[in-house]
Amino acid sequence: MSDKDPYSVPGLVRGLTLLQTFTPQRPEQTMAQLAQTLGITRSAVFRTVHTLVQEGFLLPVRDGNHFRLGPAVLRVSYGYLASRELLEVAQKPLEALRDAQDWSGHLGVLDGRHILYLIRLPASDGLSSLVHVGSRLPATMTAMGRVLLSRKTEPQIRRLLEGQPKAATEKALAAWRKDSASPSVIHNGSFETGLCSVAAPIHDMSGEVVAAISATKQTDTVPASVEREVLKTAYAISRAMGWNAPAP
Residues 92-124: tens digit of each pLDDT: 999 999 999 999 999 998 888 889 898 999 988
Q: Is 242:81 a contact under the CB 8 Å cutoff? A: yes
> How many whole angstroms separate alpha carbon 4 and alpha carbon 6?
6
Q: Is 210:151 a contact under the CB 8 Å cutoff? A: no
> How many whole angstroms separate alpha carbon 180 and alpha carbon 106?
21
Q: Which regions of the chain are under pLDDT 70?
A: 1-4, 78-84, 126-130, 189-193
The predicted pLDDT at position 53 comes to 94
| Class of residue 230 by CB neighbours under 10 A (exposed 0-12, middle 13-18, buried 19+) | buried
Report which of 190, 195, 156 is spatially closest to residue 176, judged by C-alpha positions: 156
The predicted pLDDT at position 6 comes to 80
Structural domains of the chain sorted by starting position, each given as residue range(s) with its CATH number in brackets: 10-79 (1.10.10.10), 84-240 (3.30.450.40)
The predicted pLDDT at position 4 comes to 66
- Cα 202 to Cα 64, 88, 158, 244, 246: the distances in Å are 40, 14, 23, 12, 14
